[in-house]
């Protein structure tokens, strides 16, 4: 595998109230911190620490104070490159995930079904988080690709882990060091965009 692509794109051309639209550093607003935190964390979890970060970060909507469109490219110590997009101005959505390898590719359209299920008032139970067969990602090449089943999502497992950590002293479901590693990359991305250059991370940073 040589390239991983991931997107969180939305169509929200009108500004809304709230911290996401705030340029105050205390609010950590803007799409880079909002959606980029998830994309970067996922890339680091899958492919390990990043050694180089390149980013383009813009505020494109009229009157926008905080960034609403960004691209981040990571070079991982493992050799994999991650290309991450986040936008509030995507009138047509790109693939949610695309993984390119030497023998095939894997492409997924659409989001994890858990968010829509919660919006619809559903509660976790049998079949929760399962991806419908019609929405499965395609694995293969231009010569032929077939749907490949996904593991069910499990948002409740995170919150159950928080409860165990608080009540029983178990390990936190997310290592705080992982959160710090993602923040280091996001800060490097902001610096890259401001200075128009690729930012190299030290071994200590990459950890």
Of all residues in the chain, what percent carry a pLDDT higher than 70?
Answer: 98
CA dist 27 and 39 (Å) reads 19
User: pLDDT tens for residues 43-78?
Assistant: 999 999 999 999 999 999 999 999 999 999 999 999
Please state whether the predicted TM-score (pTM) of the whole model is above 0.85.
yes
Contact indicator for 79, 4 with CB cutoff of 8 Å: no
Ramachandran angles phi, psi of 34, nearest 5°: -70, -70
Question: What pLDDT is recorded for position 206?
Answer: 53
Q: What 3-state class would DSSP assign to 103?
A: coil
- pLDDT digit string, tens, across residues 94-110: 999 999 999 999 999 99
Q: Can you give the residue range of the structural domain that contains 141?
A: 3-206
Tokens of 98: 């695309």
Model confidence over 156-168: pLDDT tens digits?
Answer: 999 999 999 999 9
Q: Nearest 5°: phi and psi at 203? A: -60, -40
What letter would DSSP give residue 131?
Answer: P
Provide the number of structural domains found in the chain: 1
Cα distance from N-terminal residue to C-terminal residue, the chain = 22
CATH of the domain at 188: 3.30.360.10
């Amino acid at each position: 595998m040589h390239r991983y692509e991931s997107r969180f794109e939305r169509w929200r051309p009108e500004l809304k109230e709230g911290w996401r639209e705030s340029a105050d550093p205390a609010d950590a607003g803007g799409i880079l911190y909002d959606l980029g935190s998830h994309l970067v964390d996922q890339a680091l979890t899958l492919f390990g620490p990043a050694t180089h970060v390149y980013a383009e970060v813009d505020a494109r909507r009229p009157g926008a104070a905080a960034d609403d469109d960004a691209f981040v490219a990571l070079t991982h110590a493992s050799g994999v490159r991650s290309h991450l997009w986040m936008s509030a101005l995507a009138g047509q959505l790109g693939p949610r995930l695309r993984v390119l390898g030497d023998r095939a590719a894997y492409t997924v359209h659409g989001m994890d079904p858990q968010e829509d299920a919660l919006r619809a008032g559903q509660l976790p139970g049998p079949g929760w988080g399962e991806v419908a067969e019609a929405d499965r990602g395609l694995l293969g090449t231009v010569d032929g690709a077939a749907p490949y089943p996904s593991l069910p999502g499990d948002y409740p497992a995170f919150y159950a882990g928080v409860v165990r950590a608080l009540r029983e002293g178990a390990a936190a479901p997310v290592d705080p060091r992982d959160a710090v590693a993602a923040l280091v990359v996001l800060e490097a991305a902001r610096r890259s965009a401001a200075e128009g250059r690729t930012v190299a991370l030290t071994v200590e940073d990459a950890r």
